[in-house]
Every structure is written in C-alpha cells, then in structure tokens.
Amino acid sequence: MLYILSGQDDFSLARALEGIKGEIGDAATLALSTTTLEGQQLSIEQLRTVCETVPFLTGKRLVIVNGLLERFEPQTRSRRQRRTPRAAEHQDEYKPFVDCIGKIPGSTILVLVDGRRTSANPLFKELARKATVKDFPLLREAELREWMQKRVTEEGGSISPRAVNLLARLVGSNLWIMASEINKLILFAPGRRIEEEDVKTLVGYTQQATVFAMVDAILESKAELAEQLLQNLLQRGVAPAYLLYMLSRQAQMIVRARELKSQGQPRMEIQNKLGLTSEFALRKTLEQASRYSLPRLKQVYHHLLETDLSIKTGRYDAELALSILVAELCQRGKTSTQERVT
C-alpha cells in the first residue's frame, strides 16, 4: 500500500501519519518493523532492500520516506536556458523509483512525506494513480478559525469569536504553536469561556515583547539578532502581512510618543492618546521614543511602506521581502552611524 502525504501543515500531516500507524496495529510491535529514510540521498537499492525485508513479529512493515518527491520537483528556468544532456538525464532519474515502488510486497506500507510538492512533479504524476494522496496546506482565514473552535471544544473549553480572531492574528497558521497556546488558555480560564482579554494577557504579551525586541535590533543595526527574531516569529506561524503591520504600527507609535513628550504631555495622557492599555507596551514605546532619533525612525517607516508595496505588487514573496527589509535597514543604520562618526 502506498500513501503520499504532503503540505506545509506538518501538524495535521503528523496526525495523519499517526492515524496510518494506528490502523496497522499495536504501536509497540509496529515500531520493530518501522524504518524511516531520507529521500534526498536515497538509492534504489536501499529502498528495495528495506521494502522487501520481512516484517518482524507483525504482518506489516512500515517504511516512511521523507523528501523523495521534493527531490524531483521541476526547477524553474529562464527561457534562454537550455536543457543540457546531463539535465535531461537527471530528469529521468525518477523512473527507477516508479518501477521499484510498483513492485513492493503487499506486506509493506510505504508512506512518502513531503513539505513541498507540485502537480508537475514527474514522480508524483506516476505514483498518484496508485496511492492514497492527502494534502495538508496551511490553514488560513475561515478554515483556521474553524479548526481553532473545534480544537478548543475537543479540549473541553469554549472561546468567543473575538478571542478566536485575535488568537489567529497573533499566532498564525502554525498549528503546533496554536495547539499549545489553546491548551494554555484553557488552563488559564478554567470553567469559563476564553475571552479576548485572556488572549491579550497570555499570548499577546509574549509576541509583543518579541516585536519590541526586533524593533530595537533593527534600529540599533543588529542584523543577526533582528533576522533571528524575524525568523522566530515567522516559524511561530505569524502572518508576514500582520508582522509588517505590527512593525509599521510600532514605528508610528514611537514617532507619536516623541511628539507628545516634546509637548510636555503627562504619561497618563500619552497612554490615552496612543490607545495603549498595556503598561508594558507604554513603557517600551516611551523607552524607544527616548533612544532613537527622528531621522532614523522616518527612514525605517519609509522602508516599511516600500516593503508593503513590493509585497502587494508581487515583486517579492512576503517572507523574502521582510528579510530584505531587515538586512537593508540594519545596513543603512550602520552607514548612517559611520557617517556621523566621520
């Protein structure tokens, strides 16, 4: 039997894989007849040997291969590039795998697991007709909120629509992190419905702290730290568009706080005019307003607007655009500092 599991939603993919294991039999016994292989360097002989090995103490052998389909993903080429004889030969390397997989014994269950796979993949085209294919794209918008509601209910809790919307914006599509945050919220609000304020208290603080740290790193031209914090947020599933909005909003907040401080406005008045309910957010914004110059803040905000435009016009992928933004801002910050010193 052949399964093909693919997609960026590795949480749902992992659960599907566990479901396949559960259908085969006892987990402890199956573990003795389970082999996991890495597809990028896998040879035909290795695959054939493992698949033809007789199961130990069970009627089935489970073979999991990670990344074999991605190995044969078509590479994008410009129109001027021509396929060389070697490239053409490489395109046919998938064919022995088709033949080998077509001859695996009935006692072997083969599962191909890939994060990225397109319908143009030649190996997938050949195997799809013979396989159970399951795709797991990242959940977005309504699908993500529906999953969240279902997850909260399964864990014995309840959550308001406003709390769901805020949690989706803060956490994004990474269901591993989302499941963890939901569990924490249920423990935080035992016996009652999870509300928007609970999400702000428990989830928003951590994310907001990371955004403040990234703003500091960018303004101080700490490129390595800024990129690390950016990747941390992206890996947590935070949507690039939301992250760009948060950076732009914070830059605006800092400039506005500088203006209000220069007018001699008291702390409480500044908090009210900025619309900040969190004491932590107010303190960090005032600190940043005191530390960074207006020209540097304007430079950052201008580049944020340019990045937003480049994403909306399709010039750059959103995640790539953010990485470029961080690198350029940190480099420009260093250049500006050096010019002032000289």
What are the tokens at 95?
A: 């064919």
Radius of gyration of the chain (CA): 26
Query: Between 159 and 305, whose confidence is greater?
Result: 159
For residues 228 and 236, give the distance between their C-alpha atoms in angstroms, rounded to a whole number: 12
Q: Which of 13-22, 72-81, 174-183, 214-223 has the lowest mean pLDDT?
A: 72-81
Return the percent helix, strand and coil in the chain, to nearest 5.
Answer: 65, 10, 25
Q: In sequence order, what DSSP letters do the residues of 235-268 get, joined into one string?
A: HTT--HHHHHHHHHHHHHHHHHHHHHHHTT--HH
Q: How far is CA 13 from CA 3, 19, 108, 121, 270, in A?
A: 12, 10, 20, 20, 48
For residues 83 and 129, give the distance between their C-alpha atoms in angstroms, rounded to a whole number: 28
Average pLDDT over residues 266-274: 87
For residues 180 and 36, give the distance between their C-alpha atoms in angstroms, rounded to a whole number: 27
204 — pLDDT class (breaks 50, 70, 90): low
Average pLDDT over residues 202-228: 79
b/e map of 273-289 (b: 16 or more CB within 10 Å)? ebebeeeebbebbbebb
What are the tokens at 82?
A: 């021509």
pTM of the model: 0.60
Pairing mode, strands 108-114 and 61-66:
parallel
Per residue in 123-140, pLDDT tens? 999 998 889 999 998 888
Residue 156: is its pLDDT beyond 70? yes
For residues 334 and 180, give the distance between their C-alpha atoms in angstroms, rounded to a whole number: 39
Domains of the chain, each with CATH number or no CATH = 2-135 (3.40.50.300), 141-194 (1.10.8.60), 205-341 (1.20.272.10)
